[in-house]
Amino acid sequence: MTHHTRRGIVGLVGIIYLCLSVLLLLTSHGLAGQHADTTVPDLIAALKDPNPVVRRGGAITLGGLRAQAAAAVPALIEALQDPTPPVREAAAYALGSIGAQAQAAIPALIAAIKDPEPDVRAGAAEALVRLHRMLAAPTGPLEFIPIYGILCLR
**Residue 60's domain spans which residues?**
15-153
Cα 133 to Cα 72, 84, 95, 152, distances in angstroms: 21, 28, 13, 9
Q: How many domains does the chain have?
A: 1
- Other C-beta atoms within 10 Å of 50: how many? 6
Residue 25 lies in a domain: yes
Residue 82 lies in a domain: yes
Cα 139 to Cα 84, 99, 151, 152, distances in angstroms: 38, 19, 13, 11
Is the pTM above the cut of 0.75? no
> Residue 110: which CATH number?
1.25.10.10
pLDDT in tens, the chain (154 residues): 665 566 666 566 666 666 656 655 555 555 555 555 658 998 999 999 999 988 998 999 899 888 999 999 999 999 999 999 999 999 999 999 998 999 999 999 999 999 999 999 999 999 998 998 888 755 554 444 444 444 444 4
Residue 74 lies in a domain: yes
Residue 5 lies in a domain: no
Residue 2 lies in a domain: no
Are 123 and 80 within 8 A, CB to CB?
no
Residue 114 lies in a domain: yes
